[in-house]
Amino acid sequence: MQTPLIASDPALLVALWHESGAAGWGLAADDCNRILLEVGSKCNYGLAPDQSATPRQQARFFRALCLPDLVLARACARGHECAWQHFVAVYRQPLIRAAIAISGNDSVGRELADQLYGELYGLTTRDGERRCPLASYRGRGSLMGWLRTTLAQRHVDHHRRTRREESLDEIDTPAPDPAPQISRHTLSMIERATEGALRQRDEEERFLLAAYYLDGQTLLQIARTLGVHEATVSRRLQRAIGDLRKQILRNIGKSGLSRRAAEEALDADPRDIHLNVKKLLQNSQRETFQEQANE
Amino acid sequence: MKTTGQHEFHPDTELLNAFAEHAAGERERRQVLAHLAVCGRCRKVLALSQQAVDGYEVEFEAAAVPAVAAAAPTLTRHRSSWWRNWRLAWMPVAALSVGIALAVYVHMARVERNAETARNTAPELSQNETAANSAPLQQAQPATPPASAPSENVPKGLIAGSAGQGAAPRSVATSPAAQAPPSAETQTVTVSQAQPAIETESAQAAPAEPQVVAGSPAVYKVAPPAAQRQQAPAELAKKSEDRSRQVVDGVAGGQLSAVSVAPMPGPQNSNRAATPESSPESETQSKELPQRAGAVAGLGALSKAHASFGLAGTPLRLPSGLAVASVASANHRILAIDSAGSLFVSKDSGIAWQPVTAQWTGRAILVLTRTIPPSSAVATPTAEAPPNSAIATPGAPPGPFFEIVNDKNAVWQSTDGMIWIAK
């Protein structure tokens, strides 16, 4: 969806051009205008895909962007020397420190930072064209945050690739599970009830459960991710657990068990329940971004 | 949106960063959150990114704060005084402090006032302790002033009769039922028996001027007869003595009819007798006093006289078996007149009574105690000395003596109560 640029408000364009400092990186007003058009059309000005932004919504979207970082990144992507000098002076050392903090290792961190720095400089080419990751930066957040996120993505992807290359000899074979204490029918009933209860949780509760129980994140880490106090995270987590248990009991009751029998069934050894919670959580709602990717 | 090499779909870096920095819109935030719920990889990315932020910020702050503080001191926040942080809270605090201080002050003042009252009332209570047994007397004088300071709490008309009482004979008018035993002190208890002579004198007297005092019986000032006003001042002064300034209460039937104040002896009362303002009233009232049935009784002396008898609450029992009409005490003797006019004397506080031969005419109705002023000491007859020798002696020491008034208003005097001479 292409939305015409805010030609009706040239004063805003001029103001944004001055505020961004694009002139310092050799970007003319028309260049800045095109960058803004590209960013706005890519994000549809923060609206749903089927909505069309009004000039006021467009102005609000542009005001929310990190314009100085955006024009700096685009100037670097275009190869402006002064922009690169400024980028190196400002972001080089923070980039290395962030990489070290993410990897937890100095050498690994420096290697990770150098690798990303090379990509940013445009050492890689595709179809004979120099590609710079900074060109994908759209100014929704800070440039430093974008760089950290990029480093984290690369580190996680690298870690996942290397784990898959581990030898099976290094993995201990788990001991065989003992015989279950309750019937197979009851266990399958619990599995279905749990699966249904997890699917009925909203996205925030599922994120809380996954981040806390699957990833082992602390309340503080989750709180910083969500932008709330850790006490709020704790309270929401407790409420999510309580609601999940009630929902599981209700689902078991719908299967024909009494309330007391359902509670006794929940006291079963979790090792007897062949339920992959991680898989359950990850199987849901993957379609959202898949559909958007297919567009 | 981008795909990874594992054909997984994730939010791009831009959206994840916007989510991490809370710059994404609500719709995008919910999308990312829904993805994070099912994507461990993106949760890990966000967690590591946040970890890098923490490490970077700590390191950055450690390096930047000193430089910033040195370069831009104005950026440092000025520490304000501790009381500035109170802001508007000082007003209720100040009000509370004032209230507490006021409460403490009031409490301390009350405690001090109570302590002072306790100190003042302690001796008074000890004096009035025995007087509490005399219910009629207490009813007759609900507002009894302290005996030690009658002039402060008693109206002027009530304390006027205390002038010149060196030995402080006190006259207490009471009902027959409330008669107290005699004591060694000089006291006079007069029972108002509605004597005919008094009634006539009251009729001859000028109209009484009521003086109503709050908490006390009605007080009447009786104007003296015109004939008595013309008596020589020296003679009047001689007759008045402690009778002066006595205030006679209104007569009500045969009950307690007159109450006057005979303050405690002391230099203060002696000095008061010499005050010029008391002399005219003392003259007139001294003439009336024997004529009135409701003779005098000191409020302040009431309780003390009652207590000094030592037989508080026990009525006097005369050999005649009649009721006591008048009682006076002085020189360790008690003189009592019964309703028939017979006089009896007791030297042992009313235990044994001796009849006195009538040496007067008519029927004795009143016995009084008088004191000879130092300037005009009069030798009164005694049992040891002949009656003729009871002439004024310039060198005779002043002392109390008795007077008897008959139904004809004639007066006889005696120092021992046995030998009487006409006045």
Interior CA angle at B233 toward B228 and B234, to 5°? 120
Q: Is 60 exceeded by the pLDDT of residue B127?
A: no
Whether residues A146 and B44 touch (CB distance < 8 A) is answered with no
Interior CA angle at A225 toward A147 and A211, to 5°? 115
Whether residues A145 and B53 touch (CB distance < 8 A) is answered with yes
Name the domain boundary from A135, A164, A193.
A164
Same domain, B360 and B254: yes
Render pLDDT for A112-143 as a digit per residue (tens, 0 to 9). 898 888 888 876 666 777 778 888 898 888 99
| Residues B133, B135, B137, B139, CA torsion sign | positive
Render pLDDT for A62-107 as a digit per residue (tens, 0 to 9). 888 898 999 999 888 888 888 888 999 999 888 899 999 888 888 8
Name the domain boundary from B75, B108, B126.
B75
Same domain, B154 and B48: no
**Nearest C-alpha neighbor of B411 from the set B260, B254, B282, B239:** B239
Q: State the pLDDT at residue B212.
A: 40
Q: Taking CA atoms, what residue in A is nearest to B39? A: A282
Q: State the pLDDT at residue B348.
A: 84
Answer yes or no: is A274 within a domain: yes
Same domain, B231 and B343: yes
Contacts of A284 in chain B (CB under 8 A): 37-38
Render pLDDT for A192-234 as a digit per residue (tens, 0 to 9). 888 888 888 888 888 888 889 888 889 988 898 888 898 999 9
Give me the CATH number covering residue A142.
Answer: 1.10.1740
Same domain, B42 and B178: no
Same domain, B12 and B148: no
Answer yes or no: is A295 within a domain: no
Residue to mutate among A148, A150, A158, A165, with most B CBs inside 10 A, is: A148
Mean pLDDT of chain A: 80
Answer yes or no: is A233 within a domain: yes
H or E, element range at A129? strand A129-130
- Find the CB nearest B28 among A46, A99, A150: A46
Answer yes or no: is A131 within a domain: yes
Contacts of A227 in chain B (CB under 8 A): 22
Render pLDDT for B164-219 as a digit per residue (tens, 0 to 9). 343 333 443 333 433 444 443 444 444 444 344 444 344 344 444 444 444 444 44
Q: B25 and chain A: CB distance < 8 Å anywhere? A: yes
Same domain, B71 and B144: no
3-state secondary structure of A9: coil
Answer yes or no: is A179 within a domain: no
**Which structural domain, as residue segments, surrounds residue A191?**
184-284
Same domain, B168 and B244: yes
Answer yes or no: is B276 within a domain: yes
Whether residues A149 and B45 touch (CB distance < 8 A) is answered with yes
Answer yes or no: is A174 within a domain: no
Same domain, B240 and B369: yes
Same domain, B146 and B67: no
Q: How many other CB atoms are found less than 10 A from the CB of residue B66?
A: 9
Name the domain boundary from B25, B43, B75.
B75
Answer yes or no: is B102 within a domain: no
Strand partners, B369: B402
Same domain, A45 and A115: no
Q: State the pLDDT at residue A225.
A: 86
How does DSSP classify residue A170? G
Chain B segment 120-179 residues within 8 A of A by beta carbon are none
Top pLDDT among B265 and A258 is at: A258
Name the pLDDT band for B75 (thresholds 50, 70, 90). Answer: very low
Answer yes or no: is A280 within a domain: yes
Answer yes or no: is B220 within a domain: yes
Contact by Cβ (8 Å): B188, B404:
no
**Which structural domain, as residue segments, surrounds residue B28?**
2-75
Answer yes or no: is A45 within a domain: yes
Give percent of chain B above pLDDT 70: 37
Name the pLDDT band for B398 (thresholds 50, 70, 90). Answer: low
Name the pLDDT band for B295 (thresholds 50, 70, 90). Answer: very low
Same domain, A196 and A220: yes
Q: Is 60 exceeded by the pLDDT of residue B1?
A: no
Same domain, A50 and A82: no
Answer yes or no: is B95 within a domain: no
Name the domain boundary from B54, B75, B96.
B75
Same domain, B36 and B163: no
Same domain, B140 and B30: no
Total-model pTM: 0.45
Same domain, B70 and B141: no
Same domain, A191 and A262: yes
H or E, element range at A117? helix A106-121
Answer yes or no: is B80 within a domain: no
Q: State the pLDDT at residue B103.
A: 94
Between CA A32 and CA A22 the distance in angstroms is 7
Same domain, A159 and A191: no
Same domain, A270 and A190: yes
Give the rounded distance of the alpha carbon of B370 from its chain centre: 31
Q: How many domains does chain B have?
A: 2
Whether residues B18 and A207 touch (CB distance < 8 A) is answered with no
Contacts of A146 in chain B (CB under 8 A): 13-14, 17
Between CA A251 and CA A190 the distance in angstroms is 8
Same domain, A104 and A143: yes
Q: How many domains does chain A have?
A: 3
Same domain, A266 and A205: yes
Top pLDDT among B109 and B89 is at: B109
